[in-house]
Amino acid sequence: MVDVDELVAAARVVRLPMRVRFRGITAREAVVFEGPAGWGEFGPFPEYDDAEAAHWLRAGIEAAYQGFPEPLRAAVPVNATVPAVGPSRVPEVLARFPGCRVAKVKVAETGQTLAQDVARVAAVRAAMPGAAIRVDANGGWTVDQAERALTRLLDGGPLDYAEQPCATVEELAEVRRRLGGACDIAADESIRRADDPMRVAQLGAADVAVVKVAPLGGVRAVLDVAAALKAAAGVRVTVSSALDTAVGLSAGIVAAACVPDGNAAGLGTGGFFTADLGEHPLVDGALRVRTVAPTEAQLAAVEVTGERRQWWLDRLRRCHALAG
């Protein structure tokens, strides 16, 4: 393990402002640091405890000090991501995803109604005729609510899959049983925030696994989980972003390019930031495999100092002690 003082000395704490509220936040904070293999990122969300956040530090250290496996392809297709905005804002959001033929739409947002979800999904269908539509509830429904909501959404057209409609693996299995194949079920939090990611396969709870590099501890960890789920239950894999900066997104793109049977990845999130640490241009709905090295000007433009910087450095030290 890399010495923690070395990491702290290299650490730059950044805050990226966002164009729209996403996952309840309007700015994304993270720590980035440079090592012999490149740049790594440590950006667990504030509500994550240190034990869970330690996985994110492992992922950053892998990127900066070990580097990545050799990818199988040079570019990966991605889905458009639509936050819980009103229908009138959907075209504005989709304009940031040129060439994408898959869209993931946030639903079950706290304080919103099923009617608003239906209207948002309908607006995406209208703006992207023929596109595959995914919905993501982030565990926000009960089993009964999920059955009712997904049945209503399916009335408007097919869904590629419904991501984490309920919070627990057992609930996902029950929703999947009730829908009877009408809609594939994807597990996200039930994998990346679980002590045992294989439970979704053991309980027949998901057709798709949404995997993210940082929460699982690195690109190699993602590939291990993906291979195990595929072997155990034929679960297909979508590599997704944890709302990473351009540094962290580099690792996600590599992971997606390394998955043998990957599909449209949830990695097109760079457009949500008004400033970032580099660029991953979206061309014809795909991202090219490349890593970024932020310039001093890019870092200085978004760098955090003072108490907030110290908060992140203290957190980094605590997580380093748990990262093994």
Binding residues for Mg(2+): 136, 163, 188
- Residue 172: which of 207, 198, 196 has the closest Cα? 207
| Both structure tokens of 288 | 């090219």
- Residue 73's φ and ψ, nearest 5 degrees, are -145, 160
Helix spans in the chain (H): 4-10, 50-61, 90-94, 114-127, 143-155, 169-179, 189-192, 199-202, 213-216, 219-233, 246-258, 296-302, 306-322
Q: Name the catalytic one among 12, 28, 58, 106.
A: 106
159's CB contacts (< 8 A; 6+ apart) are 133, 134, 135, 150, 153, 183, 184
Is 230 one of the catalytic residues?
Answer: no
- HEC string of 7-50 equals HHHHCEEEEEEEEEEECCEEEEEEEEEEECCEEEEECCCCCCCH
Over the range 87-110, which residues count as b (16 or more CB within 10 Å of their CB) and which as e? beebeebbebbeebebbbbbbbbe
Report the distance separating Cα 170 and Cα 117, nearest Å.
24
| Both structure tokens of 128 | 């992207």
Over the range 28-57, which residues count as b (16 or more CB within 10 Å of their CB) and which as e? bbbbbbbbeebbbbbbbbeebebebbbbbb
Pair 99, 284: CB distance under 8 Å: yes
Q: Name the catalytic one among 120, 176, 199, 212.
A: 212
Active site positions, annotated: 106, 212
